[in-house]
A and B are shown apart, each in its own frame.
Chain A
Amino acid sequence: MSLTAKDKKMVKAFWAKVAGKAEDIGCDALSRMLVVYPQTKTYFSHWKDLSPGSAPVRKHGGTIMGGIGLAVASIDDISAGLLALSELHAFQLRVDPANFKILSHNILVVLAVMFPNEFNPEAHVAMDKFLAAVGRALSEKYR
């Protein structure tokens, strides 16, 4: 399920509309993930405060969305663009790749919450495919 030219165009156009709120999106998505999928908290045992909207959650949400932005910019070769991030996740963070799908779902929920009109079915399918491609790229170096 690779990204078609139409998908890439849609993702870039949609990202242009929402990128201004990237930190809010990341903060909300991460907050939701930690509440709705409590097993994901196991990766953040070193944080003082895992509650929705807390300082570490907001900061890390912004970091994650920076990675998403990088993927958008590298959309013609996401694996190459995210090589360093893949190595980070594979060898240091060792986040189980199943969690990429979980976070992707929560990003989609936040896009629906924050941009109900722009996040129409066509945008939804493009973003879902894109986030799946990002997850695959991040998983590349795992084994």
Chain B
Amino acid sequence: MVDWTDAEKSTISAVWGKVDINEVGPLALARVLIVYPWTQRYFGSFGDVSTPAAIMGNPKVAAHGKVVCGALDKAVKNMGNILATYKSLSETHANKLFVDPENFRVLADVLTIVVAAKFGASFTPEIQATWQKFMKVVVAAMGSRYF
């Protein structure tokens, strides 16, 4: 389905290896909720998300950020088979959580920005290209069970 060169696979693993899921997950999800406030529609039970400070300090947001990044870890470890790996997650988001798949694109863009901020200039254009290819595949897999 998706062709990964050896260079791409090792780039993704190297980038992901330097990412602390427990740090980046919360940062990325908080940023999504702040930059795209309508995404808060999915998190009514999370408590106070009324200000950026409240969102950044919200423990449920942080916990869920870690869950989301944890799922990305599965994709990194199954790069040859992301579509199958995410089949049931996609179904859950479509049929139980009713999440607009546009949100996967939004999260992918914000995650790219958070990773860029962590890495600085070492997040070169070439690494960004490979990382965004990976994000594109993940987003497509997450959207694959929406009918």
Contacts and interface: CB of A to CB of B under 8 A. Distances in A.
Interface of A: 28, 31-32, 34-36, 52, 105, 108-109, 112-114, 116, 119, 121-122, 124-125, 128
A110 to B, nearest CB: 8
A35 B121 contact: no
Chain B contact patch, size range: 20 to 34
B144 to A, nearest CB: 23
A36 B132 contact: yes
B126 A125 contact: no
B16 interface: no
Contact of A113 (B30, B52, B121): B121
Q: Which of B112, B117, B125, B128 has the most chain A CB within a 10 Å cutoff?
A: B125
Given A112-B116, A113-B116, A125 B35 contact: yes
B113 A112 contact: yes
B35 A109 contact: no
Nearest to B115: A112
Given A109-B112, A121-B31, 5 more contacts: A36-B129, A113-B121, A113-B123, A114-B121, A121-B35
B117 A112 contact: yes
A85 B63 CA distance: 45
Most buried by B among A28, A36, A114, A128: A36
Contact of B128 (A35, A114, A121, A125): A35
Given A108-B113, A116-B118, A122 B34 contact: yes
A116 B117 contact: yes
A109 B34 contact: no
B44 interface: no
A113 to B, nearest CB: 5
Contacts of A109: 112-113, 116, 123, 128
Contact of A122 (B52, B119, B128): B52
Contacts of A122: 34, 52
